[in-house]
Amino acid sequence: MAHPPKITHLDVSGRPRMVDVGAKRATHRTAVAEARVQFPPAVADALRANGLRAAKGPVLDTAIIAGTMAVKRTHELIPFCHPLAIERCVISAEFVGDTELAIRCEVSVTHKTGVEMEALTGATVAALAVYDMCKALSHAIVIGPVRLLDKAGGKRRIRAGRELRR
């Protein structure tokens, strides 16, 4: 019978704690996350017609800046994330269908802990920035799903949201 997975952020007394990564070896670690933004058809049409600009300015440029800032500050938002010297952060976006924007955030670092929370945070905040830039057009914009697409460099390998055996 398989044992249930161990929750790593609890000590022996069940109290929350930051995971001790002191004994781990620093390796190159990467993560890719995606957030989807779904627009009403008229909003998607207006964005395309205006070169992805809204009344507040360039939607994607603003989202890229916001997502990058969020990646670098993830440890300030998520209590048990370690502060990391991010080596690479690339945020991209493209329409996948008539009304849905896919925002991808790719992050890498050479460290003792992974960057999946940074990638997820970057994609999410970029999507929130898109919402903020476009909300004057409609409040019916929907964010989600947000998911981890790829993670490499630590104990586990994730690809397309599925854990692969090592």
What are the strands, taking DSSP E only, across the chain?
A: 27-38, 53-54, 57-58, 88-95, 100-111, 142-152, 157-159, 162-164
* Paired residues of 38 in beta bridges: 100, 142
d(CA 57, CA 111): 36
Answer yes or no: 132 catalytic: yes
Tokens representing 110 are 């050479």
Question: Of the residues 11, 45, 132, 150, which is catalytic?
Answer: 132
- Catalytic residue list: 132
